Structures are given as structure tokens and as C-alpha cells.
Amino acid sequence: MERREFGITVVSPAAFVLALFVLWELVCRVFNVPLTILPAPSDVFAAMWQYRAPIADNSFVTLWTTLAGFLIATVFGLVLGIAVGWHRAIYAGIYPVLIGFNSIPKVAVVPVLILWFGLGEIPAVLTAFLISFFPIVVNVATGLATTEPELEDVLRALGASKLDVMKKVGIPRSLPYFFGSLKVAITLAFVGAVVSETVGSNKGIGKLMLDAQAAFQVPIVFAGLLVLAVLGIALYAATAAIETRFTGWAFRGQANR
Amino acid sequence: MPESFVEIESVDLAYDKESGNAIEDVSLAIREHEFIAMVGPSGCGKSTFMKLCSGLLPPSKGTVVVNGRPVSGPLKIVGMAFQNSTLLPWRTTLQNVLLPLEIVEPYRSSFKQKRAEYEARASALLKSVGLEGFEQKFPWELSGGMQQRTSICRALIHEPEILLLDEPFGALDAFTREELWCALRDLQAERNVTVMLVTHDLREAVFLADTVYVMSSRPGRIVRRCEVGIPRPRDLEVSYTQQFQDVVHELRQLIGGQH
């Protein structure tokens, strides 16, 4: 990597994060903010270290429920997206239902899921899935719908079936849309899992934070928030890396400087 | 005159009832290996005409007969290229040219076994339009002219009997366009394919075609059939002769419009 490049992509975000923490610390110290309102970063990191075992334990649960929900959403979203993009009748039939479903706040669904599946990881997985499949469906369908008509003509004139057109053009063409939507979906899945844990669960970061809050252990609550932020960034970065790996051609402007 | 290869008889085509006919009462006959050009004002249904010949659209009235058989669905003996090259950005130049072979029989079923042979054929075709060494480049690494060359190669790889070109050089600069005229001229001479070229460029039509058809504005009708009496293949120099200019001038007057 070039030095200038390194400066922009590594040093700059690190410096920004550091500055944010320093500012936070200063505000807490100067105004003497009580620990129960806003703990300083030093208190938060201390709590994180002290309770590292339960934090790691619960992070792991949140992580795997998120990933499980995300995987189901990916498969389901891809299949439904292709179905919706395949034919206008399917599109017209499914779309209103999809939008209606997507408008329901998922917090409201969690109690129902707990009623059906009991406390535990399953409601978290399902909430993560339910909240994150929508952008995948919409993006895949959009990718398919925006196939150039001339290109379709070229193939159809050769006697290509609808399936051929999908396989040769539609699906490869919608891959950048698909991977783009994965970045959105992974963060949503994460939110879904944590929301479900907060509403009712016996494990996970959400549950840990809820318990800490009840016990006025505010530094632990903030430690939980920090862990969530870091996990969120990591998951996003992983999906973004997969995206560039598979659809490099769509990023030609950046890849071929 | 030898028997006609494509015969279009009193064809009307309307996309839907309200909008009326896009083309109306079009009749023409094309010989095998003939190079025809369609010119006319914007929106005169030239592209509709192409879809008709390729079997993508059925006529509302009249008949289209190709090679003795009425056209009722997509014709596999057709290759098409458009103004924008419609190459697939995730495929290399070579893979783009190979695309039709993955779809049209008999190539389709033998594609996996004979891949090397087909790749060699695609390379040879690319070489014949001056794209040797660009096989592994992606379309977006090529210039506009190169993309069009590739697009024409893709239209020819399955050895179609009719090549349909819809303003293939419309987006290129004047010099590149002239270069590609010559490339197309040579390809046609070499492969003896029947070509239908839709264009806005009268010089292009007169330079390349045996016969130029002039269409009126919507609904498109053929108002004139004009045989270009200059022997083919023609050299670019021809386009500066008086005879050439006269033909272009005559066609221009037929198209009319406000000045």
C-alpha cells in the first residue's frame, strides 16, 4: 500500500476514533458527570476488562444468532428476489404484502416469536432474519428488472429461454445489487438479534445490557454498546470484503486507478 | 435477379391498438448476401423493422418469409448488434464473443467439450477486426470503437446468415466510424453474410450498402428503394466522388425535415 493511501484508510479513521474517546473522557471529567449518567471511556474499558468473560460469552451468542438469521435471510431473499424479478405477476402479487410486512416494527413481533418458540436463541435468529431479508429481495429484484432490453433482444433472437436470459445476464447483473444489499442486511440482522434479546431472552449482549441497567451498572451497559459497535463494524467489513471479491467488475472505477 | 432470401410483404406492425401502426405496408425483398441499409428520420420504425426481421415481434398484418419459411418466432440464423455495445462487463472480450455459442444449438450442447475450438474461433474472429491480444481484457478496458468491434464479432460468432445492425456506429466519433465501416465491409466480403443495417448516417448507408431503403416518418413506410450503382467493395476514397455525393444528396432530399 502506498504511504498516502495508508494515511487515508488506516491512520485517519484511527485518529478520529481516538479523538472521539478523548473528547468523551474530557467532557466527563470537566463536568464531573456521574457514573450512572455517562461513564467516561476509562470506566467503560475498565468494566469491559473486569467482566470480559460474561461479555465474551454473550457476544458469541449475539454473533451466532445474527449470522444464522442473516444466512437464512440471504438464501430466502435471493430466492424471493429472483421470483419477484422473474415475472410481473409475481411482482405485483407479492410486493404489497412484502411492504406491509416490512412496515411492522419487528419489536412487536418478538413477543409472538417468544410465545411460539420460548425464550432462547430461536426468536433472536428469527428476528434477525425477518428484519434483514427485505433489502435483499428489493435489490435482487431491481437488479433483474434493470437488465437492458437490447441485451435481452440479442439473447432472445438467438432463441434463449427466460431461464437462459436469467442465468447469463440477469443474475450476474444483479450480483452487485445483491452484495450491496448484504451490507445493509448484516447490520439490520444484528439490530434484530439485539432487539429480540432486549425484549426477552436469557443470553446475548442485549440481555447482558438489560441486566446491567436493572442493577445500575451503567459502565457495563456502555461496554455492551461499544462491543455492539465493534461487532457491527467487523460484520460490515467482512460483507464488504466479500462484495469486492465477487463483483470487482462493478467497482472498476476504484479498482483500476 | 436470384430468388430473394428475405421477403417482407405488405407488413403492418402496431405495438398496441391506441398508438397506431409503427410501420405500415412495408414490402421488400432481400437477396442472399445482399447488403441493405434502412435510413429515415427519427422514430420512423427502423428499429421496429429489425425486430420484425429477427422474429422478436410478429407482424400485425402481412408476412415475413426468411429462407422460404414464414417467420413465427426468434430466428437463430440471425446475429444482432446495437448502438450501445451491450457487452457484459463481468465477462472478458473473449467470453463476450462466446456468449451466443452458449445459447444456440448445435454449439450449446457441445460447448463444454469443444470449448478450446470455439475459443480459437472467437480469437480468430477478434483478430480479423484488429483485436488480437485483447481477448482477456474486459469491455470497460476497451475504447468505444473496440467495444463495437467486439459486439459485431459476438453477432457473427455463430455464423448467422443474416446480420442485423441497429445504428452500430452511432455513438462513435467520425474517424473511428469510418474505420469500422471498412472493418464491416471486409467482414461481409469475407463471410458473405446478408446484412441489414439501420442507420441515421446517409454516407454510411451509401458507402456500405448495395441497396438503400428510405423510410418516411411515423407510421414508417418505404418511400424509396435506391440501388447504389457504385461497385463493391468500395474504398473510402469513393465517398469523395461526385457520384457518391449525388446519391447522398438525393437521399437527403427524400428524408426532408425543416432547415
The pLDDT tens digits of the residues spanning A189-231 come to: 999 999 999 888 888 999 999 999 888 889 999 999 999 999 9
CATH code for the domain in which residue B5 is found = 3.40.50.300
Answer whether A159 sits within 8 Å of B74, measured CB to CB. yes
What does the pLDDT look like over B142-201, one tens digit per residue? 888 889 889 888 988 888 888 888 888 888 888 888 888 888 888 888 888 889 999 888
pTM value > 0.80: no
Summarize the confidence of residues A79-103 as an average pLDDT.
86
Q: Which residues between 209 and 248 in chain B have a beta carbon less than 8 angstroms from any beta carbon of chain A?
A: none
Range A83-110 average pLDDT: 86
Domain check: are B92 and B46 in the same one? Answer: no
Instruction: Give CA B129 to chain center in angstroms.
Output: 16
B104 to A158: CB separation less than 8 angstroms, yes or no: yes
| pLDDT above 50 for A256 | no
B56/A168 CB distance under 8 A: no
Judged against a pLDDT cut of 50, whether residue A255 lies above it is answered with: no
Residue in chain B lying closest to A155 (CA): B100
| B99 in A contact zone (CB under 8 Å) | yes
Q: Which residues lie below 8 Å from residue A222, measured CB to CB, with a gap of 6+?
A: A38, A39, A44, A47
Distance CA A132, CA A78 (A): 12
Residues whose CB falls within 8 Å of the CB of residue B118, separated by 6 or more in sequence, listed in order: B98, B101, B107, B111
Residues B81-113 pLDDT 10s: 888 878 888 888 999 999 988 888 778 888 888
Q: Tell whether A257 is within 8 A of chain B (Cβ).
A: no
Question: Does A154 contact B at CB distance below 8 Å?
Answer: yes
CA dihedral over A237, A243, A246, A248, signed as positive or negative: negative
Indicate if B64 and B112 belong to the same structural domain.
no
User: Is the same domain home to B29 and B58?
Assistant: yes
Instruction: Please state which of the ranges A39-43, A52-56, A172-176, A185-189 shows the lowest mean pLDDT.
Output: A172-176
Nearest to A57 by CA among A188, A211, A238: A211
pLDDT at A129: 95
pLDDT single digits (tens) B111-137: 888 888 888 888 888 888 888 888 888
The pLDDT value recorded for residue A2 is 65
Predicted local distance difference test score (pLDDT) of residue A91: 83
Domain boundary among B159, B185, B219: B159
A247 contacts A255 by C-beta, under 8 angstroms: no
A156 at interface of B, judged by CB pairs closer than 8 A:
yes
User: Do residue B47 and residue B21 come from a single domain?
Assistant: yes
CB < 8 Å from B in window 157-176 of A: 157-160, 164, 168-169, 172-173, 175
**How many CB atoms neighbour CB B16 within 10 A?**
6
Same domain assignment for residues B41 and B168: yes
Please check whether residues B71 and B168 belong to one and the same domain. yes
Interatomic CA distance for residues B82 and B85, integer angstroms? 6
A107: Cα within 13 Å, side-chain hemisphere:
4
| End-of-domain residue from the set B144, B159, B174 | B159
Identify whether residues B3 and B57 lie together within a single domain. yes
| Residues B115 and B167 reside in one and the same domain | no
Instruction: Please report residues of A whose CB lies closer than 8 A to that of B158.
Output: 158
> Using one digit for the tens of pLDDT, what is the confidence trace for B24-66?
888 888 888 889 998 887 777 777 888 888 888 888 888 888 8
Which chain A residues are within 8 Å of B51, Cβ to Cβ? Answer: 153
Residue after which a domain boundary falls, among B111, B127, B159: B159
Do residue B120 and residue B14 come from a single domain? no
Chain B residues with CB under 8 Å of A146 CB are none
Domain that holds residue B40: 1-77+161-259
Q: Are residues B168 and B150 in the same domain?
A: no
Contact criterion met (CB < 8 Å) for A158 and B55: no
Please tell me the distance in Å from B158's CA to the nearest CA on chain A: 9
CATH architecture of A51-255: Orthogonal Bundle (1.10)
Instruction: Give chain B's domain count.
Output: 2
State whether B53 and B167 are in the same domain: yes
B51 and B132 assigned to the same domain: no
